[in-house]
Structure 1
Amino acid sequence: MAGWLTRHPATLTEEEKRHRKAVLSRCPELASAAELTSSFAEMLTILSGDRLPGWITEVTTAGLPGVNSFAARLNNDLDAVTAGLTTDWNSGPVESAVNRIKMLKRQMFGRAAFGLLRKRVLLS
């Protein structure tokens, strides 16, 4: 069920869509959580952080404990979260480089000293 709620509806098969609809029709709280999840995902994909305060208000009104605690934590640092949801900047290239270096380090664990690690990082 978690996969049906968190994936984009267009990626679900027809059978999964039918099952999802059947489950959501029987549980209004889950239907509300699904709607809130998809609206937050939409904010993430189209970078519309200006809608975040309204979304947090909607979550508070819904009264769902798990989603409500998530929204409360977002509200603690609202300016930073809003900036993250509205700007195109990200740390993807840096994270990629860090992950590559960590992978090289793990491959060489216990086999070589820092000098060889340095050469592999610089040459790769």
Structure 2
Amino acid sequence: MGPRLAQLQGERLPEWIAAVRADDLPSMHTFINGLTLPWSSGVLEGHVNRIKMIKRQMYGRAGFKLLRKRVLLAS
């Protein structure tokens, strides 16, 4: 399975998913189920990225109260 992924053969993804589902590997089944969900965490990741940027800008300058206020006001 490893070399196939390293060769970037995305067109074979459905075949790979079917092979994983046929195996008795519960942790891989969980991974496959996550890959095939109809929604994305992109919006959440954008918010996390914005909060991390604010935190980096304020590093060493302010405490948690001011950081919290900036995060809440920025949204």
Of 33, 47, 58 in structure 2, the residue corresponding to residue 97 of structure 1 is 47
Q: Deviations over 1:17-64 (max 9, x none)?
A: xxxxxxxxxxxxxxx858x531xx233xxxx4x742437xxxxxxxxx
Q: Which runs of 4+ in 1 moved over 2 A?
A: none
Q: SS at 1:110's partner residue?
A: coil
2:60 corresponds to: 110
Structure 2, unaligned stretches of length 5 or more?
none
Query: Does 2:21 align with 1:52?
Result: no
Of 71, 76, 85 in structure 1, the residue corresponding to residue 35 of structure 2 is 85
Structure 1, unaligned stretches of length 5 or more?
1-31, 56-74
Identity of aligned residues (%): 45
Q: SS at 1:112's partner residue?
A: coil
1:37 corresponds to: 8
Q: 1 CA distance for matches of 2:18 and 2:28? A: 8
Shift of the alpha carbon at 1:105?
A: 0.6
Shift of the alpha carbon at 1:106?
A: 0.8
| Alignment-mate amino acid for residue 44 of structure 2 | V
Pick the structure with more helix per residue.
1
The structure number with the bigger radius of gyration is 1
Q: State the TM-score, normalizing by the size of structure 1.
A: 0.43
User: How many pairs were matched up?
Assistant: 69
